[in-house]
Amino acid sequence: MQRVRVAIIEDEPELRLRFERILRAEDWLDVTGAVSDAAGGRALIERRTADLYLIDLGLPDGDGLDLIRLASGLQPDADLLVVTVFGDDAHVMAAIEAGATGYLLKDTAPVELLKWIRTLRDGGSPLSPVIARRLLQRFRADEAGARVAAPARGSAPAASGAPPAPADSPLSARETEVLQLLAKGLSYAEIGGLLGISAHTVTQHIKHIYRKLSVRSRGEAVFEATQLGLLRQPGWQGGR
């Protein structure tokens, strides 16, 4: 297995050292940097030192969201895993929109980090259980509201609540459903569970989406699809 380069951007010394110790013990991981502030994080990202960045949102000299945007722009293929104390919807959605590919709370056991990193490298998007549960609850509430608000005539909405794709859309109806759920921050497994398909099938749909939209990451796909009018505006945006 090819070694995965990991950089840590975390201001809490104890947690940063604990992460370093755990990651350095694995022969398939290579810790290329560990810094405590946004300035150090920017330097690591600008040098493209890692395949995966662990990023804290609350840094003493800046906002981790800015680092996520920077890394997403400079290294669209890199994985950006948030590790933070902020578990509210606004922070979660802002991080996902900025380009984060995973979101964990700091009460996650550090030893679980290895599992989440493997999940990321396998194409998944790890979320702390409490975050995933709240996102699913919000998604179901959005869907219930969409069904109530749907007009009496016309075709029934798709199961995910995604609108029918425009006639000139490059995406199929199923790909539009998958992308709508991807935009909500759900993992491949969660998307598969909601749509009644396997995670492998979800992965194939996402590969087709990336190819059709000429993008290479979740954030780019959501941005491009939104610009093209292929996605409805998510319900959470009004609450930020």
4-126 maps to CATH 3.40.50.2300: yes
Q: For the whole model, what pTM was predicted?
A: 0.59
What's the pLDDT score for residue 69? Answer: 92
CATH fold of the domain at 133-239: Arc Repressor Mutant, subunit A (1.10.10)
132 confidence band (pLDDT: 50, 70, 90): low
pLDDT at 72 > cutoff 60: yes
CATH 1.10.10.10-classified regions of the chain: 133-239
CATH 3.40.50.2300-classified regions of the chain: 4-126
Quick: pLDDT tens for 203-230.
878 888 888 888 777 777 888 888 888 8
Label each residue of the chain as H, E or C.
CCCEEEEEECCCHHHHHHHHHHHHCCCCEEEEEEECCHHHHHHHHHCCCCCEEEECCEECCEEHHHHHHHHHHHCCCCEEEEEECCCCHHHHHHHHHHCCCEEEECCCCHHHHHHHHHHHHCCCCCECHHHHHHHHHHHHHHHHHHHHHCCCCCCCCCCCCCCCCCCCCCCCHHHHHHHHHHHCCCCHHHHHHHHCCCHHHHHHHHHHHHHHHCCCCHHHHHHHHHHCCCCCCCHHHHHC
